[in-house]
Structure 1
Amino acid sequence: MNTSRKNNRPNFRGAPTSPGRHQPKRKAVSSLDPKLLVKKAKPTVSLTGPSLGKKFSELPLDSKLQLNIQKKGYTNLTPIQEQAVPVLLDGKDMLAISRTGSGKTAAFLIPLIMRLLKKPLASSVLIVAPTRELALQIGEEFKGLTLGMNFRWATFIGGTNLQSDLNHLSQKPQVLIGTPGRLLDLARQKVLHLKHVNTLVLDEFDRMLDMGFIQDVKRLVEMIGPREQTLLFSATLDPTQQKLISGLLNNPVEIHVDPGTSANEHIDQETIFVPEGEDKFMVLEKLLRNPELNKVILFAETKRLADRLAKKLVQGGITAGQIHGDKSQNFRNRVLGEFKSGTIRVLVATDVAARGIDVADVSHVINYQMPMTMDAYIHRIGRTGRAGKTGKAITFIN
């Protein structure tokens, strides 16, 4: 394989950047048509039905990896996994577009683990994710898939203790997982050296652009230099990003599977109109009295509103917690753990976590306010109806 990137350097000119700090604030108004937020879910396919993809046991994988895949309960490959895994096992660059919750993480981790098994001393992997929660989720998935393999790996995210990062780096991890800002900070302090990285994965690439991380990603790529393999995984693809993507990839294989330009068909979507003068929180509270809403993610537009909603829910006897950018990472980890275990029933979140929450069996997603864009809406409600199950999404309309 030709690993040189000298004539294929990233070209980031014209890429979207963060809005200027001194621009005047405008009152945010949703651009969504409420009619688009109402849709009945299609029947789900039986998890044991003949229409599912091939089995993991049919893939040429290491026996320990096969055992760990079985322990995680994975039997059949999802469509993105069925298309991506064989290509990545061949070591090719890839641009993969597939909606959230489609199994993208395992699609790139399984081939990378096979590379590490074959060349443990010659492989170094960097996986970049836009949010702390997503980086931690990738780390947990890697941990589960590599039990008993003695790989060295670490996660580097904002809001955590720097000394802990230094301790992890002293172990010379083979796999680095992190958010752009923290990785760049460590590299600038010359405690993280990226020249030895030969495999780069940019997960939720579109979200990284949306969040204004493009300059950080550019600097990280320049620090890495030539690579053997580069993977871009994303839920959506903006045609204006094609030049940027071409600068990152070398003769890539492109895979488009069920892209995230529309909501998951297995999600029941409805709206609740709140007349002027009616107390919307009382409407929410009454809705949550229904025991069918047993594991709920409630999205709010601002951090302040998320805090207020969580506090009022707890005061009303409904177990709830909140995560957003102003909360420490330890706080966010604890609340997310309580939500996963069922200790709290309602998780109030802002968009910062919309793509990083991977919790099984979320029964409902509720938008307390209409999301600003369809893209935000799709990724929010994608927290339910995962792994072939039916979910429910409710959006309040003022």
Structure 2
Amino acid sequence: MTESAPLPPAAGPTSPFQIPDYRRFWVARLFSVVATSGMVVVLGYQLYDVARGQYGMDIKQAAFMLGLVGLVQFIPQFLLTPVAGVVADRFDRRLVTGLTMVLDCSVAFVLAVATGFHALSLPLLFALAAAHGTARVFIGPALSSIAPNIVPAPLMPRAIAINSMAWQIGSMAGPALAGVLFAIYGALPYAVSSALLAIAAIGAFGIRRLPPPAENSKAHPVRQIADGFRFVWKDRFLLGCITLDLFAVLLGGATALLPVYARDVLTFDGQPIGSYGLGIMRAMPGLGAALVATALSRRPVEREVGTKMLLAVAVFGVGTIAFGLSRNLWLSLAMLVLIGAADMVSVFIRSTLVQLHTPDAVRGRVSAISGLAISCSNELGEMQSGVAAALLGATGAVVFGGVGAIVVTLAWAIGFPELRRARTFAAKYQS
């Protein structure tokens, strides 16, 4: 009997979705984003409404409260981000992700109960916002560092585009769903968020065990923190990528003031657009980003990636200026779609470059530092928007931020020529 010919080796995956662990990762990411983006929208609206109604504040004072809630969420990010990076590099990243999602699930549950029993107050809302920020500081580095451990390097650009789809679909669906649920019954969006976070935690726990790099278990945690910051500081390419997002979005974020536009600026048929309109507005950047992410997952950007990243940030600033000046609801929604689309291009390119230019042993800490920059740009951006609105009004604050984003783009194009020179996503490190 003749021997049968040996079977050819099994072909590797051609899509991240062919990897079971990636499917669990993606579901955990999607459900957590739907839950948390909806929570943030309702919490902001409730805080603004409580400040205006229960505490008798005027528009500028209540807008300043929206800025303070950003600061309250940023403080735990600032204090705990170095610790979170070390935790992501020293322990099983899927366990860290799952456990902190359970914490965020508890925050949503408490908000549901407090809303249902009409027990909301500014101190309680600020305290729960801080708890939510604490959970996010640990979820971010651990979850972001999982994908390179379960996806081959050649598939990473597609994986990051699909990751962004989960983020943007969640950012689009979460606020819209929360707005509708809030109109039905105030506690309902928080109850749904709590259930979604529980499912996301189960998905994270279902990923295979991810032991940390051996060298990280021996180093002193304080030294690891310092090494992470030193690594980013010495690598001008990473430093430019991370700080571009930090300063551009810090100045250019308009989302913090959307409750002001929903309650007191934009109208439909002569009436303020209210919580329904707020949910729709918060969904529009996600819609633009989801459309772009879908296109990128099929045909990722491959050439002149640095220049395209910088141009996307400039378009983000232009869209922000146009939104700030608009009083037409449809134009405002269109500009929010443009803002989301431009931000998606920037996020996709920057995230891919950072992941592929960071060794696995320090990836958690670099992700934590990147997360701190994002937190600065988002939460401190909300603080900046609130203060600017108190001084310039909502329109002046948004326009000022858009101009600032454009100025930052020009400054970084000159100050970090490494960004302009990035032609492709060629991986510097592979897991």
Q: TM-score range by the shorter chain?
A: under 0.3
TM-score between both structures, scaled by the size of structure 2: 0.25
Looking at secondary structure, tell me which structure has more strand per residue: 1
Task: Answer 1 or 2: higher relative contact order, Cα 8 Å, separation at least 6.
Answer: 2
TM-score between both structures, scaled by the size of structure 1: 0.27
